[in-house]
Amino acid sequence: IGKRINYDGNLGIVLYEGPVTNSKVIWLGVQWDDPSRGKHSGEYKGVKYFTPTIENSASFVKKESPLLMVGQSFQEALIKKYIIKEEKDKNSEPIVWGKVVETIGFEKIDKKQSHLNELIEVGLDLQNIEKAFAENETKGKIKEICPSIEELNLSENLFTQWDDVFDILNELEHLNVLFLNKNKINPTSIKNIIRNNNAKFESIKTLSLNKSIEEWETVSNLEPYFPKLENISLGFNNLNNLFPLLQPNQFSTLKSINFEYNEFDSWNVIENTLGKLPSLEILKIDYNKIKSIKYSPGTFEKLDTLNLNNNDIDNWETIIELDKFPSLQKLRLSRNPLGDTVEPATNFRIFVIAQISKLIQFNGSSISKSDRYDCERYYINHAFQEKQKKDWSDEEFALKHPKFKELQNYHDIILTKKENKVQTLETSLITVQISCPQRTKKIAKKKLPPDTTILTLKGIIQRL
């Protein structure tokens, strides 16, 4: 009980072992990592045998099933994949419950050892690894036979304790990138490190824990063990808060955080915990539920890249606030409700670029100087027309378009109202029809200022 298993490619944790009703067969009650595979909540014919943490995420499997595999050591997995598999060894059998695996002795692979010495990138995902060493394996042997590993993928394995993961990391002094995606390690185990309590994995710069943690506290507790971490990925973890708050100097070297596919709905939650990180440059919060952003002075001072695709942002005030971020140059805002408020849709890009002065890239597309020039002048014209149409006072207009005056002065544009008609750039725009008969019968119409250059026109055509 408490072991993680692999049953025909499906991972889960054993919560019950024993008979079911009067059967002589020994059954295992398993809660699956993928809840949709479950058939019940630990009961059979009215009798409750165990209780999974997620309703209807469990089922029974026979303990002696040939489809059932339990954990092996890192050394066993490494040799099976990089030595035995290459030689097509017929003795590499699957590990079944209760069967002691005959470890392949390292003395038998001297001829292949140079190959392991050269390994830099190692992929041991889905290899049923649960620990570093088997009972008859020697500590320090991993370091001896594969000392050069820089990137290691241990995703979708059978770890239950952080100490077991740390045993492996202690052997790999040059490890730079570590993937631990889709592992279900007991979150309380990080508070009870015994063998590696004083460990510091300073070589590791990138850590991926997608679909692996249940709460931010686990990440906070991991920080002392990864003091030089620069990149962390925490996608698909259903996170909606970042408590506890970080202590001073925690994650001081962190440059990039990925929070894609979580449940954040408040920018304040993000800012309160991460806003003071001194090195943070990249923040990815795609596929969350953020509705608005308000900038607080002194936060996110080095943030260069912000991804907000597929959120719930529906207000232009957020764009105004994003202009206040001191270092923001790259922004993604695709598939937010705000984009649906602008017609034609191409104006969305124009208005965002015009109002965030430091952007050099928007939604993955670079912004040239001529792009910015055209967007800002178009925005000036649009904003002025909107003021006349809605009859805003100067104070109301300044609140809605705080960037307008700065841009008007920069471009040295004078806009006046005469004879009840707004005299603006619109009166001097030239309508251009663009078509490509070889590819489509559609004709695009664009209104351009008379001083539009050929280079700018080419850029407009490329974006169609």
| pLDDT tens by residue, the chain, 464 residues | 889 999 999 999 999 999 998 888 999 999 999 999 999 999 999 999 999 999 999 999 999 999 999 999 999 999 888 886 555 444 445 433 333 334 444 455 445 555 788 899 999 999 999 999 988 888 998 999 899 999 999 999 999 999 999 999 999 999 999 999 999 999 999 999 999 999 999 999 999 999 999 999 999 999 999 999 999 999 999 999 999 999 989 999 999 999 999 999 999 999 999 999 999 999 999 999 999 999 999 999 999 999 999 999 999 999 999 999 999 999 999 999 999 999 888 899 999 999 999 999 999 999 999 999 999 999 999 999 999 999 999 999 999 999 999 999 999 888 776 445 454 555 567 788 888 777 777 788 887 777 677 767 777 777 76
3-state helix, strand, coil in the chain (%, to 5): 30, 20, 50
Q: Which strand (E) or helix (H) includes residue 388?
A: helix 369-390
Q: What pLDDT score was predicted for residue 101?
A: 35
Q: What pLDDT score was predicted for residue 216?
A: 97
Compute CA distances 93 → 62, 129, 130, 136, whole Å.
Answer: 19, 15, 17, 19
Q: What pLDDT score was predicted for residue 114?
A: 54
Domain boundaries, the chain: 4-68, 70-370, 371-463
* Cβ count within 10 A of residue 80: 19
Which parts of 364-459 are beta strand (E)? 365-366, 416-418, 421-423, 430-435, 443-448
CATH placement of domain 4-68: 2.30.30.190
CATH class as words, domain 70-370 = alpha beta
Distance CA 285, CA 305 (A): 11
Q: Global pTM?
A: 0.82
